[in-house]
Structure 1
Amino acid sequence: MNGFISIFAIVMSSALIYSAPLIFTALGGTFSERSGTINVGLEGTMVIGAFSSIVFNLSYGDVFGSATPWLGLLIGGLVGCLFSLIHAVATITLRANHIVSGTVLNMMAPALAIFLTRILYEEKGQTDYIKHSFGKIDVPIFSKIPIIGSIFFESTSAPAFVAIGVAAVCWYVIYNTRFGLRLRSVGENPQAADTLGINVYLMKYAGVLISGILGGVGGAVAAQSISLNFSISTIAGQGFIAMAAMIFGKWNPLGAMGAAIFFGFAQSLSVIGSYVPIIKNIDAVWLQISPYVLTILVLVLFIGKSQGPAANGYTYVKSK
């Protein structure tokens, strides 16, 4: 029994660590698409968030100490917001194709980040490793609960529990506030929203910029809790997995959170596979590709059944 609990605890701890970046980014995509703007540039936003948080961590770690990773989240979110402004201007103001604009962001971000890395770190292709990372924590009080405490609240990820809390807040904002109602109305029928006096362009900008903040935070979490440095492989497909989680969760923050935890578990299999009796003999390569295979399967099986906002991806032109 104790052995089973230990294995389950390892699985849950690892799953939460890998799911935290996906939860934040999937929530960001939900806000953008609820406003009617498709944002396939989440991958690029995560890259920029990861890069900026690591640079901040390396530069000011000795100043802020253990608070540095948390401040790094704020920096990653701020830079991600500024980066997503490119997508907002292109798609909302300049009426560019949403998919093309997001693809450009995904191509631009890694190249820009590696270029700046080489400038800042003596022509190296990656940064140094950070000294102050999130690591693992024991949640006070809850970790003392018999069995459940050792599985869910010991040696676990603090950002994951923050992400779960943010998901609950996002659900409340989208479904129980005036801002959320206006955001959803713009994503469903912008013309009707406009006739009711809602500033459609403002709500669309808000959705995209919020997605930039949360996507940047997601990248910062990934860099400061998993890779612990920045390189070209720090963010490798997590943005697309987060999009799949958003679709699988039917553009609902709580649904996206649950799907992100599932995909985070799939990502963690390559790390913890040797500890799990059922899968320890499976070749590591199969475990490494499992998150991407699952992403493809989810998109194939559910993208036709999941109905997103009615006006998602359509360019809105205000009538005179």
Structure 2
Amino acid sequence: MQYNNLGKSGLKVSQLSYGAWVSFGNQVDVKEAKVLLQCCRDHGINFFDNAEVYASGRAEEIMGQAIWEMGWKRSELVISTKIFWGGMGPNDKGLSRKHIVEGVKASLKRLDMEYLDVVYCHRADPSTPIEETVRAMNFVIEKGWALYWGTSEWSAQQITEAWGIALRLDLIGPVVEQPEYNLLSRQKVESEYSPLYNNYGIGLTTWSPLASGVLTGKYSKDNVPANSRFALENYKNLANRSLVDDTLLKVEKLKPIALELGVSLAQLSIAWCASNPNVSSVITGASKEAQIVENMKAIEVIPKLTPSVLEKIEAAVQTKPKLI
């Protein structure tokens, strides 16, 4: 496993990481989580991602209990969570100082940890001034509840504004953004965020490298495996949006490229994301140990992504965005 700096910070994160979205609390309990997390560690993963909204907080509880029961050394782990959707009350969501402070403390309690390595603002909050959010995230860091802060699915303009405020007030700016990034979703990472990498040293921890499983090739319009994500009731709408003819055709065109390299389509897709130099870590998800083992082999595929192979991939998906 390779370890990259998280943006321009000194924090080292594994090139591939593991996220609790969907699986923990929905498909996986503490006993199963211990097996999955140990498999991740055995493959060199040190970075584990969560959020207060995942399974309404249960995902954090499961991850925290599993880590505690396994007796892992905290300093060897990089643990992140995301704050925005904490409950139904008017102050239980968003990025106000009140919810950031209360949300982080609640996450720490669920995880049974003294601090988080990274706390993300899970979305931008149009009802809260960005200055209030920047000041609140710095308060969290000053209290020692988190070491770094970042954003998730913010626009380049919002991240730029946050950094402008941080520089003006001599505060800490966001070191990382967590956007969706895969062969079917590229606009933000490859175009919109381009100025941020040099201007602020922003790193990326990207999610959904397999486009919620579409890029594994296991789905067709008429075939949704019973134990898959799209079979879950909460994800039926996402399935309807994802399993469209144009997308499935792109997937079919990618299959011969993976076959020629002797790798799975999932490994090819994850390796492609990880090969982007602006990506510090690719967050993978899995509900089964075999899926983790399969995903980790993507590390071995990265050197195979020669210019000619990348050209074939571009020709297959035709999703390269125009630079802004």
TM-score scaled by structure 1?
A: 0.27
Higher relative contact order, chain-length normalized (CA < 8 Å, sep 6+): 1
Higher helix share: 1
Higher strand share: 2
TM-score scaled by structure 2?
A: 0.27
